[in-house]
Amino acid sequence: MRKTIRKMAAAALAAGMAVGMMAAPAMAEENKALSICIITSTGIDDGSFNQDCYEGIKTFLETHDDCKVTDIKEADYAQLVPTVEKSVGDFDVFVLPGFNFAAIGDIVIDNPDKYFLVVDSTIQDSEGNPVQEDNVYTMTFKEEESGFFAGVAAALSTTTNKVAVVNGMAFPSNVNYQFGFMSGVNYANAKYGTAAEIVELPSYAGTDLAGNNVGGNYVGDFGDEAGGKVVGEALIGEGCDVLFVAAGASGNGVFTAAKENKGVYVIGCDVDQYNDGANGDSNIILTSVLKVMHSNVTKQLEAIYDGTFAGEDALLGADTDSTGYVAEDGRQQLSDDALVKLSECYRSLKAGEIEPASSTNGYTPDDFPGLAD
């Protein structure tokens, strides 16, 4: 990523020392009480993506009682960036979960004394140029790794041999989950002798940001529980008994559909969703696959507070314990055999022997490193 070039190099050179003197105190000050703002489209209680980011803030606040957090919910996706812009004077740090914050580059440049933690996206300016400044840390994740674990788990656990993934919107992170899931199913079929079929309903196919049909099963929103239930019921009607759900609050509707149909299991996403799977005296959660946002949010807030923060575009995966799956007793219902095989997969993936398909790496779920080895 390029560093954003300031206009009129000669003027910038002449004023460089003055600019540095203005910016340095804010960027280097230690133990500064922080006013933190988290802005989301579906709230901090979605039981998934947004909530995990918020938990990272809460963990930070437990040991920093001089700091505080304000959460803002803006349901209109088109108003998310304007909300940051109109709020920028009121807070020190912004935690911004979601791809819809990709266009905050100009705000970041114009406010060098503010800090921005962007989850699930890199950022750009108003002309579409990539931006990486000293006051912004963007964290994107290898969701395809977690999706891969979901696919392997589904293939090893299905009794109908029909499985599916339900997504919210076809943003890069969700396409990564989809392609990773499909890669995992194909890997289990090839390596472990399973015979799982991936069910995709054409009426719910996703269209990515480039206008490409990526297939899959997309609700079309992250906050549409009723729509999520419709998609879930349609897939269950096709015989699917394991559904991987990466749909934010829309996923709650898929959970409801699974609870109303005996023998259907759900794989949770982003966080451990076992509690959400309670259904009387049973539970519909097979396991949950993880995108570990909370600890990375906490880590960057600590760095801002103690003056060691460094701007970066970070891509996080299993090698930094930022992707994975739930294997803890009492929080999943995988067979012993499935747990052994998933552990094998984790080691191979962490070692780079498996690289599931994603929206950007050029591989497909039918052809990726590790499948044919």
Last residue of a domain, one of 318, 334, 368: 318
DSSP characters over 207-255? E-TTS-EEES-B-S-SS-HHHHHHHHHHHHHTT--EEEEE-GGGHHHHH
Domain-located, residue 363: no
For residue 334, pLDDT beyond 80: yes
Report the 10 Å Cβ neighbour count for 191. Answer: 18
Domain-located, residue 361: no
Does 236 share its domain with 127?
no
For residue 342, pLDDT beyond 60: yes
* Residue 252, token pair as written in the block: 């709650």
Structure confidence by residue, pLDDT tens digits, 164-220: 999 999 999 999 999 999 999 999 999 999 999 999 999 999 999 999 999 999 999
Contacts of 5 (CB under 8 A, 6+ apart): none
* Residue 126, token pair as written in the block: 């108003």
Does 328 share its domain with 189?
yes
Question: Residue 10 — very low, low, confident or very high, per pLDDT cuts 50/70/90?
Answer: very low
Q: Are 188 and 216 in contact (CB under 8 A)?
A: no
Cα gap 70→93, rounded to integer Å:
10
Q: Are 243 and 232 in contact (CB under 8 A)?
A: yes
Query: What integer best gives the mean pLDDT of the chain?
Result: 91
How confident is the model at residue 32, as a pLDDT?
79
**Pick from 177, 58, 45: nearest CA to 120:** 177
Contacts by residues 20-26 (CB-CB < 8 Å, ≥ 24 positions apart): 23/112, 23/113, 26/112, 26/113
Helix (H, G, I), strand (E, B) or coil at 94: strand
Q: Are 202 and 217 in contact (CB under 8 A)?
A: no
For residue 323, pLDDT beyond 90: yes
Question: Residue 326 — very low, low, confident or very high, per pLDDT cuts 50/70/90?
Answer: very high
Domain-located, residue 369: no
Structure confidence by residue, pLDDT tens digits, 227-286: 999 999 999 999 999 999 999 889 999 999 999 999 999 999 989 999 999 999 999 999
Does 213 share its domain with 343?
yes
* Residue 230, token pair as written in the block: 């419709």
Mean pLDDT throughout 142-168? 98
Cα dist from 272 to 28, 287, 332, whole Å: 36, 8, 9
Q: Are 290 and 325 in contact (CB under 8 A)?
A: yes
In one-letter notation, the amino acid at residue 288 is S
Kind of pairing, strands 285-291 and 265-270?
parallel
Domain containing 94 equals 17-141+294-318
Does 250 share its domain with 300?
no
Cα dist from 321 to 141, 223, 330, whole Å: 11, 28, 21
Domain-located, residue 362: no
Does 191 share its domain with 335?
yes
Q: Are 244 and 265 in contact (CB under 8 A)?
A: no
Among all chains, which residue has been given the structure tokens 């750009």? 124
Helix (H, G, I), strand (E, B) or coil at 13: helix
How confident is the model at residue 236, as a pLDDT?
98
Domain-located, residue 190: yes
- How many residues in the chain? 373
Does 346 share its domain with 219?
yes
Does 215 share its domain with 300?
no
* Residue 7, token pair as written in the block: 């206009």
Cα gap 321→313, rounded to integer Å:
17
Question: Residue 46 — very low, low, confident or very high, per pLDDT cuts 50/70/90?
Answer: confident
- Domain count for the chain, please give it: 2
Q: Are 7 and 129 in contact (CB under 8 A)?
A: no
Does 167 share its domain with 61?
no
CATH number at 37 reads: 3.40.50.2300
Q: Are 268 and 238 in contact (CB under 8 A)?
A: no
Which helix (DSSP H) or strand (DSSP E) does residue 296 occupy? Answer: helix 294-306
Question: Residue 48 — very low, low, confident or very high, per pLDDT cuts 50/70/90?
Answer: confident
* Residue 50, token pair as written in the block: 């947004």
